């Protein structure tokens, strides 16, 4: 045990091991990171054992890695413990489990030291090579990894009194990863030679540190400067050739820096600036901590080219002032010319009608119209009293600002990530209120005056509205009477339809039976074919008998429009299982979900027939013991599900009607009449599931399997 710290250490000598066995369970890193929140809350203390891969004094965190992964440990707070730990040592940590933003981590109990046992000192584990994209998806978080990429920027972040961290941004395949070296001692020195270089970084990605330690959260932590190695040195910024802004779009999307010179036409605080040269303009992303450039200042810019929304920009740029210069002249253009893409990131001037003025946190915005085009013009500064647009709605104004085109991707090309179409819209970025001048005041007919006139007209219409209300009441009464009459007529029409269906079905079946019997008479000298014809005739007799019983039952018992689908279905199924409760026969379970409602009689009839056919087949052919029938009343459809525990059949090769099995064929016909979808799922020995979806408004294509 450390003196006065409450933490224990253990050397390689077995004689020095503590005699008291630990009571907390020893778990792996993978088990700890996979703990659900409810288990974290009720877990007292646990132990993890592995190699110490990272150690920082402030914030006080360390990482322990075993063969299953890495674990973040918050602490220890005692200086004696930290001085006794070395990266690469095999240690065992005992603590409580807490839940961080990126998953569980270990910490000491409140007001108690963290228990750490040192077993051995070995060389540091070799880092596992990974891609930055895998690191950002938290795969391998907490492990010692190695990534490669291009260094984009380096800056200093303060996170406490006299405590600073070096934060380096590394990019690979468009993925950005921030690398943090905590307790950076050379506060006045930035490794500028890293920017633009191809680097190899070894460290531990921290995703589980508590929220109050933002400097170390969601970053790759390195223990020393040697963990960042330059693979390919960067070309010095001053040695890069000058490029016109119009050539930036042609630069391939790699990590090659570009150098341009131009005049700042519009700086945006905390974001960047627009720079324009003789041929065109470009947006420059500038890190937050760089000094803000001024309008009219000539700058030398070095950055990484990128197409953002189809427009060329310079990302992670650095710049140097070359003194004051004259602003490029504004170019008067039309809306169609601004949309052509020729003037993207350049200063232009337009005359337009003000449709609306709004204030947002990022700056006041005008909705303008020029010709048939509607576009936006926004002040680059914050929306405060000094940044008020000197115009009113419905006035004509002349605006001068930087044109920003918005494009949409057109297609994917093998040699380039995106091929962008012509701009689909544009907007103007304004430097300040002086960029707006009023040409003509708004018309007398303002929105307020129009609303007053409309209000007077509404008052004159109240008498007519009262008459409409009275007329609507009378129409409602008549509608109720007509609805009742239509329901009765529908009921009578449904009964007549069932009678016609019974007549047509019997006539067709009897004709088919007669033809089969005549064929049998002619085939008496061929017994096998005669037997097949007799079997088919027998099956047709059984089908005709079943259809007759169902139609007669429907005529006598069913009360369409009175009882509804579910009561009628329960009544019909009850007859199939009468006495099953005492004899141990088959059982039928009926379940209804959703808001039960009345359906058209013809739809109820088809749903009822499919349900009864499915239940009958389950008992008759599949020898089922239990059948479950579920009816779901959804917003725009009714879903019928019938499942059984019978012996099933091969749904991919169902029996054809010629074999005497007409049930499946009939169910598919009824599904087609409902404009619904019938799905039959079954395997031999695994039961059968009938799934019918019938729309209650509109139609869909009918399919059945």
Tens of pLDDT, residue by residue over 138-159, are 777 899 999 999 999 888 888 7
Mean pLDDT of the chain: 81
The domain covering 14-121 belongs, at the CATH homologous superfamily level, to Nucleic acid-binding proteins (2.40.50.140)
Contacts 24+ apart (CB under 8 A), 333-340: 333/403, 334/370, 334/371, 335/370, 335/371, 335/372, 335/373, 335/375, 336/371, 336/373, 338/375, 338/403, 338/405, 338/426, 339/373, 339/405, 339/422, 339/423, 339/425, 339/426, 340/422, 340/423
Q: Give residue 628's pLDDT.
A: 93
Look up the CATH architecture of domain 128-232.
Answer: Beta Barrel (2.40)
Rg of the chain's alpha carbons, rounded to an integer? Answer: 40
3-state secondary structure 171-216: EECCEEEEEEECCCCCCCCCCHHHCCCEEEEEEEEECCCCCCCHHH
Q: What are the structure tokens assigned to 588, written together?
A: 């039928």
pLDDT of residue 231 exceeding 90: yes
Tens of pLDDT, residue by residue over 371-394, are 999 999 999 876 565 678 888 888
Q: Give residue 549's pLDDT.
A: 66
pLDDT of residue 417 exceeding 60: no
Q: Give residue 335's pLDDT.
A: 94
Average pLDDT for residues 648-661, to the nearest whole number? 67
pLDDT of residue 569 exceeding 70: yes
Distance CA 354, CA 165 (A): 49
pLDDT of residue 551 exceeding 70: no
Band of residue 290 on the pLDDT scale cut at 50, 70, 90: low
Tens of pLDDT, residue by residue over 92-149, are 999 888 887 777 888 888 777 788 888 877 777 899 999 999 998 877 789 999 999 9
Average pLDDT for residues 496-509, to the nearest whole number? 59
Q: Give residue 252's pLDDT.
A: 59
Distance CA 421, CA 352 (A): 26
Q: What is the CATH number of domain 245-440?
A: 2.40.50.140
Question: Which residues are paired to 351 by β-bridges?
Answer: 398
Q: Give residue 638's pLDDT.
A: 93
Q: What is the CATH number of domain 559-705?
A: 3.30.565.10
Which candidate, 182, 142, 146, places its Cα nearest to that of 53? 142
Contacts of 40 (CB under 8 A, 6+ apart): 97, 98, 99, 104
Average pLDDT for residues 212-219, to the nearest whole number? 77
Where do the DSSP E strands lie in 389-507?
Answer: 396-411, 419-430, 436-440
Q: Give residue 701's pLDDT.
A: 38
Which candidate, 580, 572, 577, places its Cα nearest to that of 550? 572
Higher pLDDT among residues 675 and 578, named by residue: 675
pLDDT of residue 658 exceeding 60: no
Q: For the chain, give the percent of residues with pLDDT over 90.
A: 32
User: Which residue, chain included where needed, has tokens 């984009």?
Assistant: 152
pLDDT of residue 5 exceeding 70: no
- Relative to beta strand 396-411, strand 272-276 is unpaired
Average pLDDT for residues 442-458, to the nearest whole number? 82
Average pLDDT for residues 278-302, to the nearest whole number? 87
Band of residue 585 on the pLDDT scale cut at 50, 70, 90: low
Q: Give residue 14's pLDDT.
A: 38
Q: What are the structure tokens assigned to 676, written together?
A: 């619904």
């Amino acid at each position: 045990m450390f003196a006065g710290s409450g933490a224990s250490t253990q050397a390689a000598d077995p004689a020095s091991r503590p005699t008291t066995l630990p009571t907390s369970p020893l778990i792996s890193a993978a088990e700890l990171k996979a703990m659900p929140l409810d288990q974290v809350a009720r877990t007292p203390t646990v132990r993890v054992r592995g190699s110490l891969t990272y150690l920082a004094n402030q914030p006080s965190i360390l990482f322990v890695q075993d063969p299953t992964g890495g674990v973040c440990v918050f602490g220890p707070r005692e200086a004696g413990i930290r001085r006794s730990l070395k990266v690469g040592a095999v240690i065992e940590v005992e603590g409580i489990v807490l839940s961080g933003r990126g998953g569980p981590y270990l910490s000491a109990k409140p007001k108690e030291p963290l228990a750490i046992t040192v077993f051995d000192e070995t060389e540091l584990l070799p880092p596992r090579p990974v891609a930055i994209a895998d690191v950002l998806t938290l795969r391998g978080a907490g492990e010692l990894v190695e990534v490669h990429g291009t260094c984009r920027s380096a800056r200093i972040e303060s996170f406490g009194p006299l405590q600073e961290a070096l934060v380096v941004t590394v990019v690979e395949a468009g993925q950005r990863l921030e690398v943090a070296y905590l307790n950076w001692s050379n506060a006045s020195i930035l490794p500028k030679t890293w920017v633009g270089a191809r680097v190899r970084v070894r460290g531990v990605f921290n995703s589980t540190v508590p929220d109050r330690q933002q400097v170390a959260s969601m970053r790759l932590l390195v223990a020393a400067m040697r963990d960042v190695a330059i693979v390919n040195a960067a070309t010095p910024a001053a040695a890069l050739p000058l490029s016109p802004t119009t050539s930036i779009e042609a630069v391939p999307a790699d990590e090659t820096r570009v150098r341009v010179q131009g005049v700042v036409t519009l700086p945006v605080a905390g974001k960047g600036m627009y720079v324009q040269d003789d041929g065109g303009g470009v947006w420059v992303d500038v890190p937050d901590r760089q000094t803000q450039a001024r309008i009219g200042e000539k700058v030398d810019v070095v950055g990484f080219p990128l197409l953002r929304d189809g427009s060329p920009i310079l990302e992670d740029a650095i710049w140097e002032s070359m003194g004051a210069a004259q602003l490029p002249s504004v170019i008067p253009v039309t809306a169609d010319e601004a949309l052509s893409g020729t003037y993207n990131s350049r200063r232009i001037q337009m005359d337009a009608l003000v449709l609306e003025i709004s204030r947002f946190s990022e700056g006041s915005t005008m909705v303008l119209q020029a010709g048939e085009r509607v576009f936006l013009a926004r002040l680059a500064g914050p929306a405060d009293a000094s940044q008020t647009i000197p115009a009113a709605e419905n006035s004509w104004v002349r605006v001068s600002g930087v044109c920003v085109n918005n494009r949409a991707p057109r297609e994917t090309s093998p040699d380039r990530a995106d091929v962008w179409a012509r701009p689909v819209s544009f907007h103007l970025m304004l430097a300040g209120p002086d960029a707006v001048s009023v040409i003509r005041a708004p018309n007398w007919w303002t929105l307020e005056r129009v609303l007053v006139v409309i209000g007077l007209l509404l008052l004159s219409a109240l008498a007519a509205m009262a008459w409409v209300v009275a007329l609507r009441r009378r129409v409602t009464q008549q509608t109720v009477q007509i609805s009742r009459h239509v329901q009765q007529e529908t009921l009578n029409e449904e009964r007549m339809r069932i009678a016609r269906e019974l007549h047509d079905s019997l006539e067709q079946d009897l004709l088919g039976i007669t033809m089969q019997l005549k064929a049998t008479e002619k085939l008496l000298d061929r017994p096998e074919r005669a037997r097949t014809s007799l079997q088919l005739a027998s099956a047709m007799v059984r089908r005709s008998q079943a259809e007759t019983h169902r139609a007669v039952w429907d005529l006598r018992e069913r009360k369409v429009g009175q009882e509804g689908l579910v009561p009628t279905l329960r009544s019909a199924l009850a007859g199939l299982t009468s006495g099953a409760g005492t004899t141990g026969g088959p059982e039928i379970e009926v379940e209804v979900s959703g808001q039960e409602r009345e359906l058209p009689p013809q739809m109820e009839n088809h749903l009822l027939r499919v349900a009864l056919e499915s239940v009958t087949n389950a008992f008759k052919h599949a020898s089922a013991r239990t059948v479950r029938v579920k009816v779901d009343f959804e917003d725009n459809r009714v879903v019928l599900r019938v499942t059984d525990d019978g012996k099933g059949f091969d749904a991919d090769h169902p029996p054809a009607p010629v074999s005497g099995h007409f049930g499946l064929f009939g169910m598919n016909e009824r599904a087609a009449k409902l404009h619904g979808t019938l799905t039959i799922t079954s395997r031999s020995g695994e039961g059968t599931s009938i799934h019918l979806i019938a729309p209650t408004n509109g139609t869909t294509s009918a399919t059945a399997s």
